[in-house]
Each structure stands twice: as C-alpha cells, then as structure tokens.
Amino acid sequence: MDLPTQPAQDAAAYEGWRQVVAKYQRPDARKSIWQLINSFGGLFLCWVVMYFSLNIGYWLTLLLAIPAAGFAVRIFIIQHDCGHGSFYKSRKANDSTGVVCSLITLTPYKYWRKSHAIHHAHHAELEERGVGDVWTMTVDEYLAAPWWKKVAYRVFRHPLFLFGVAPGINFLILERFPIEVKKEWRNGERESVLYTNLALLGLFTLFMVWVSVGAVLAIFLPTFLIAAAAGTWLFYVQHQFERTYWEHTPEWDYTLAAMHGSSYYRLPKLLQWFTGNIGFHHIHHLSPRIPNYNLERCHAENPIMQRVVQLTLWSSFKTTSLALWDEKKQRLVTFKEALQYRTALTQNAG
C-alpha cells in the first residue's frame, strides 16, 4: 500500500484533533444547494439522454448508465451528510433533503441513518460487529467455524458476489424490509421503510404509465446496479485494507478506529467529485459533522490528518483478496494465509 507518511502508533499522536476539525464543521448553504442542483440535474439529464438513446442502441444506454450511476452515488453522499446533520445547519432541512435523496438511492433515510450511526459508534470494535458493516471474521473464528459457515463466508467474500450480486440484493430487496430494526429504535426507522416503499411504488408506477415499463427498467436498473456496486466498493475499500484496525472493546479507541481503521482513498479528480470526497474517509470517521465539500481542505491543511494509510485506485484492487482479521499479526490476511497458519499450528502440535 502507498503510505504518504507512517501512520501514528497511538491515539496520543492525534491529540488536539477536535480543535483542528472544528472550523471545517460549518455547512455552507450555497455549496450545499449547488451540490444538490448539479447532482440531481446531472442524473435527470443522463436519464433523459438515456431514454432517447434507446432508439439508437441499448449499448449506448448502458454506457450512459455509468455517469448516471456516478450522479446517483453523489446523491447518496448528500443523503449520507444529511444523516450526519452536516449538509445544512437546520436538522429539518437535513432530514427533508435526506428523504428526497432516499427516493433516488432506494435507501430508507431514517432506517439507514440509525444503522449508519451504529457503524460510526462501533466501527472496528470486534464485539460490536454486525450492524452497518461488511461481514468480517477473525482467523480463529473462521478456523473454528462449521463447514457450512466457512462456505457461506467464502461465497460472501468472493469479489463476484460482494461487488456483483450482493449490492443489487441489498439495495433492491433487503432495503425494502426493516430487517435490522431493534425494539429500542423509536425514531421512525421502521416507518421510514414503509413510507419509502410506498413513495417508490407510486413514482415507478407513474413513470411506467408515462413512458413504458420496458423503458423504465432499461434506464433505471443499470443505473441503480452500477451505483450500488460502486457504493459497496467504496464502503469496502475504505475499511477493508491490510493494515486496518480492529480491537476488542476494552482496548478499542475511537480515534485509532477512525485514523487507522479508515483509509484515505486517493482517487482521480473526476472520481473524487462523483464520490463526494468520501475518499477522505479517515477524516469523515473522525468528525462526521464535516460536510463532504470541506473534507479535502481539512486533509490538505493539517499534516496530522495525513498520517494514515493511503490507497490509490490501483493499490485498492489488491484488497479484494483479504478476508480475515489476524489478531496476532494485527492485519487482514487472505484465506490462503489463514490455512497456512492452521497448518503451522498442526505441525507444531505434532
């Protein structure tokens, strides 16, 4: 992996980070509104052009689905900021905008907001895995698991499933049901799933009557599937890299989880724009109240924010082989490395 500087070894090295991030936490209404305009405007323009491209050839429609998906990802980042209360100063404005975005992202706003808050509160805490994160087992857990669980985990972690099949299942199907809602969640999380589904049903029915069922599916499906795959990839690579951070509850530290358990994903400028600067993920985890358009400036102006693992587009592809957290080596390893570890244990025992 490419490292701009050596990551700090303990939380004390990041002392004073709260004062550093404070000035970047102020939303700018003009920037937020402009981001709404260019994101929704870009997506709707893509969809209009895709509709007319159906008369030329579906190959062109599929090509146009790529930038359309980019705008959809950008809208998800807006919803993401709204969920953190960072897009506007007003909570009402954040929530209203987040709900509108959810009709594009197919992700119920309040339901997702709660599960994502849990992700932030317990990211990289081994005892708190299971809500809002990528299924990750330790080497010891995997080696001790029954055969059927090993098979399920291997299938889940395979790139073709994780980035090809799972995103569509998650956003098109699983998000339609309040599977993860807990009894103690009482801020409209369950209701947001129902209301989002009803709104989506109404919108898609209207579009299908107005245009045609075939045209709607031909335009929306590739857009959503590409955007879902890209979003899943972003979430994965921002946390699943070799020298990431996982720790048991007694030793878990919020600052290290943010700065060591999240990467700086250095993307080409165009991809950085489409992904709403979410590549500065270490800063986002450190301070979720920073609007996405202030993340790059926070990173550039403060050397303390640069002491993290940096991934490039090329080096990020190498993370797909990593699958298990090795507690002894304190890094993610491949299935092959885990099996070699088991073989070494057996030989030593013999």
pLDDT tens track for 59-106: 999 999 999 999 999 999 999 999 999 999 999 999 999 999 999 999
Which of 34-48, 198-212, 297-311 ranks highest by mean pLDDT? 34-48
What pLDDT, on the 0 to 100 scale, is given for residue 246? 95
DSSP single-letter state for residue 14: G
What the block records as the tokens of 69 is 């998906």
Q: How far is CA 144 from CA 17, 139, 141, 148, in A?
A: 40, 9, 5, 12
Which amino acid would we find at residue 207?
Answer: F
Among the ranges given (11-20, 75-84, 222-231), the one the predictor scored with the smallest mean pLDDT: 11-20
Tokens describing residue 109:
């706003």
Does the pLDDT at position 209 exceed 60? yes
Is the pTM higher than 0.75? The answer reads yes
Q: Which of the pair, 223 or 174, is modelled with greater confidence?
A: 223
Q: Which two tokens stand for residue 103?
A: 């009709």
User: Distance between CA atoms of 49 and 2, rounded to whole angstroms?
Assistant: 39
- What phi and psi values does residue 242 have, to the nearest 5 degrees? -55, -50
What average pLDDT does range 241-258 have in this prediction? 93
Percent with pLDDT over 70 in the chain: 93
Sequence letter at residue 12 = A
341 CA to centre of own chain: 31
Which whole number is the average pLDDT over 128-152? Answer: 92
The pLDDT of residue 5: 46
pLDDT computed for residue 3 by the predictor: 41
DSSP per residue over 298-343, as a string?
HHHH-GGGG-S-EEEHHHHGGGGG--EEETTTTEEE-HHHHHHHHH
- pLDDT in the model for residue 2: 42
| The 324-326 sheet, strands edge to edge | 137-138, 324-326, 331-333
Q: What is the mean pLDDT of residues 241-257?
A: 93
Q: Does pLDDT of 9 surpass 70?
A: no
pLDDT of 180 higher than 80: no
Q: Which amino acid is present at 300?
A: A
In sequence order, the 6+-apart residues with CB closer than 8 A to the CB of 256 are 10, 11, 245, 247
What is the distance between the alpha carbons of residues 242 and 262, in angstroms, rounded to a whole number?
11
Residue 174 scores a pLDDT above 80: yes
- Pick 119 or 12 by higher pLDDT: 119
Task: Quickly state the pLDDT bin for 166 (edges 50, 70, 90).
Answer: very high
Residue 65 CB partners (closer than 8 Å, separation 6+)? 46, 50, 219, 222, 223, 226
Say what the pLDDT of residue 1 is. 39
Give pLDDT tens digits for 304-314: 898 889 999 99
Query: Given this model, what pLDDT does residue 10 score?
Result: 62
How far, in whole angstroms, is CA 208 from its chain's centroid? 30
What pLDDT does 347 receive? Answer: 60
Mean pLDDT estimate for the chain: 91
Q: Across residues 236-252, what is the average pLDDT?
A: 94
Distance CA 239, CA 249 (A): 18
Give per-residue pLDDT as tens, 260-278: 999 999 999 999 999 999 9
Return the ∠ at Cα 69 (arms to 65 and 73), rounded to 5°: 175
pLDDT at 346: 61
C-alpha 30/C-alpha 36 separation (Å) is 10
Query: d(Cα 162, Cα 176) in Å, to the nearest integer?
Result: 19
